[in-house]
Amino acid sequence: MVALSDRILMTPQEYLDWEPTQQQRYEYWDGEVVAMSGGTRNHNRVSLNFSKLLDDALADCPCEVYIVDVKAQVEPGRKYFYPDVVVTCDERDRDPQLVQFPCLIIEVLSPSTEAIDRGTKFAKYRKFATLQEYVLVQVEQPGVEVFRRNQQGKWVLSEYGLNERLQLESVGVEIAIADLYRQVEFEAEAANN
């Protein structure tokens, strides 16, 4: 994500009215509009694979899977982010532009956004009372990190490699990590480390 060259400041309502009319996606950070950077083919493929696997697994339940163009309302009137994949199973989520009650958020990491996804965004996402799992997926090499909220409300990290299976407790879905990386080409050196 990169800031626009000329800072654009808006009220939350101006942003919510303006942003859907734009060709590019923009996040909203405390009054400032921030342009989303483009992703790589691997980033796109991993996001697509993850969303398809989840959507297929959740086809017969009330959960909904969204990618790319649906915002998460992180702090009403203050922060609106675009997760790579977001799942809601909450019947209160009825706004056509926003997810307000996510149970699962997935961010596919890229060098330009990794620090923000791990830091600022995760700190804000943790404020969702409904969020049960936050998943970070590497694209430079195979690897998945899952932060899961335990019964005491603490976030516990689990890491998964290419030959393992990921159990997403928030939605009752199990996914082979290798399936997330279908059609993804890693640089030979990075894949062997």
Are residues 144 and 138 in contact, defined by beta-carbon separation less than 8 angstroms?
yes
Per-residue confidence band for 38, with pLDDT thresholds at 50, 70 and 90: low
Q: Identify the pLDDT of residue 176.
A: 97
Q: Is residue 76 part of a domain?
A: yes
**Does residue 52 lie within any of the structural domains?**
yes
User: By mean pLDDT, which of 1-15, 33-47, 80-94 is the weakest?
Assistant: 1-15
Question: Is residue 30 domain-resident?
Answer: no
pLDDT tens-digit readout, 39-64: 788 999 999 999 999 999 999 999 99
Residues 65, 112: Cα–Cα separation, whole Å: 25
The whole-angstrom separation of Cα 91 and Cα 101 is: 9
CATH of the domain at 88: 3.90.1570.10
- What is the domain range of residue 68? 40-192
Q: Tell me, yes or no, whether 170 lies in a domain.
A: yes
% the chain with pLDDT above 70: 93
Give the strands of the sheet with 26-29, arranged side by side.
2-9, 32-35, 26-29, 79-81, 71-75, 98-99
Residue 34 lies in a domain: no
Q: Is 186 helix (H, G, I), strand (E, B) or coil?
A: coil
Question: What rounded mean pLDDT belongs to the chain?
Answer: 89
Per the domain annotation, does 4 fall within a domain? no
- Residue 122 to residues 67, 73, 135: CA-CA distances in angstroms? 18, 13, 10
Residue 61 is assigned to a structural domain of this protein: yes
Find the DSSP H helices in the chain.
Answer: 12-18, 41-57, 114-116, 122-125, 177-180, 188-192
Does residue 127 register a pLDDT over 50?
Answer: yes
DSSP string across 62-98 = S-EEEESS-EEEEETTTEEE--SEEEE--TT---SSE
| Dist. CA 108–CA 113, nearest whole Å | 9
Instruction: Look at residue 128 and give its three-state secondary structure.
Output: coil
The pTM assigned to this predicted structure is 0.87
In-domain check, residue 48: yes
More confident residue, 107 or 28: 107
Per the structure, how many domains does the chain have? 1
